[in-house]
Amino acid sequence: MGRMGHIRQYPLNAKRYARSMHPMHPIFPIPHKDPVTSFTRVHEQQGKATPMSHEETQDIQRRTFLKAAAASTAFTILPAAAARGYNANSKIELGLTGCGGRGVWIARLFEQHANVKVVAVHDYFRDRVEAARRTLDVDAARGYVGLDGQPEMTQSPLDAIAVESPPYFHPEQSVATLDAGKHLYLAKPIAVDVPGCMAIVEAAKRHNGKLSAWVDFQTRVDKHFMEAARLVHEGFIGKPVSGQFYYYCGRLNKQCQGDSQMSRLRNWVFDIALSGDIIVEQNIHVLDVANWYLQEHPLKAVGRGGRKARTDVGDCWDHFAVVYTYPDDVLVDFSSGQFTYGYDDLCMRLYCSEGTLDSHYGGDVSIRGKSNSWPGGKTNTIYQDGAIANIKLFCASIAN
């Protein structure tokens, strides 16, 4: 409630940005003995929450900040042409970290639509590990539990790991995956702050040409979104002028009651430090498309939001309103809410000098213009079809 009406203005240096995304309160203890990430972390030390030292959180200048913005959205494939010598008949052995509903669903899609066998699973909670292990027919010895379980799984015999854990843990788990010589399939968002994004990007660069890294954005592999982007890039309806992007949906379900650390972890989607807030964890779907359509990243942003309709769990805001300024003074107004009743829509609308591109995640994608129009098509099954397409492309990059 105390954050109601707070104004967020960017660009910021990475230190201030990271702190704005990570409120200074105690967070889940994660292993610090192997500092594979450079993102700002909060830990308990003598009963007080303390940030990393100044030396560990060096300021990132504007250019690097914008690179990080790119990293947090469309993190593209790194071909694995030199990796392991797979052939078309080799079954990829996959590990899963994050055994919630989507994690297990993704793992099943891997087995159903690619030449993959899930051989290991990991989660902080034993009940989720056991449920996933039974569903995926994983040997009892390959079920890994707790914070120490993830590095144990990473070092075990595997070809690839699907990271479907809360975003707070993505940098450490993703970097460890790549540095262990495993291919990485990563849920969006890749991290909750700029240093976390850059940690993963730098790890991917270290293994470029040897390992594959893929982020599961469904719009990027949907034929209608891809064609719409191509037409805009070719000037089909002139030059971009402004954009209207929004993401409104109903509230998510609580996984448990209470305010203990274990409850926080099970309810991570409502926790700013663990999820990055709804603008990072969910709204990134439409913000990534804005960057894609415009082939740019915003130079600055000013916005506000608050916590009015959903105050019974966590500390995430339930609504945002932000104006992003892109190069050539293209303004994109963005808003979102995660509490609405009776009206859900993920809209990505770009107004150009000669027409308008109107696209909806799970709805219609089309272009209407002064001289040129395009009927487009429907994306009603994008949630599953996009995930399947990403899985197939990821596995093909490993095999080829």
Residues with Cβ within 8 Å of 74's Cβ and at least 6 positions away in sequence, in order, are 215, 217, 220, 288, 291, 292
The CATH class, in words, for 220-381 is: alpha beta
Write out the E strands in the chain: 7-10, 43-45, 48-50, 92-97, 116-123, 143-145, 160-163, 183-186, 213-215, 240-249, 300-306, 319-326, 330-338, 345-352, 355-360, 364-369, 374-378
Number of residues assigned to the chain: 400
Q: What string of pLDDT tens digits covers the 400 residues of the chain?
A: 333 333 333 332 333 333 333 332 223 333 322 222 222 222 222 233 333 333 333 333 334 334 444 444 445 545 544 444 455 568 999 999 999 999 999 999 999 999 999 999 999 999 999 999 999 999 999 999 999 999 999 999 999 999 999 999 999 999 999 999 999 999 999 999 999 999 999 999 999 999 999 999 999 999 999 999 999 999 999 999 999 999 999 999 999 888 888 999 999 999 999 999 999 999 999 999 999 999 999 999 999 999 999 999 999 999 999 999 999 999 999 999 999 888 899 999 999 999 999 999 999 999 999 999 999 999 999 999 999 999 999 999 998 7
Residues 375, 367: Cα–Cα separation, whole Å: 7
CATH topology of domain 76-217+387-399: Rossmann fold (3.40.50)
**Domain extents for the chain?**
76-217+387-399, 220-381
Of 281, 299, 193, 293, the closest CA to residue 245 belongs to 293
Residues 42, 257: Cα–Cα separation, whole Å: 24
Amino acid at 373: S
Angle of CA points 283, 287, 290, to nearest 5°:
155
Are 76-217+387-399 and 220-381 in the same CATH fold? no
Residues 367, 231: Cα–Cα separation, whole Å: 9
Of 388, 351, 385, the closest CA to residue 370 belongs to 351
Tell me the two tokens of residue 335.
């808003």
Peptide bond into 11 cis (omega under 30): yes
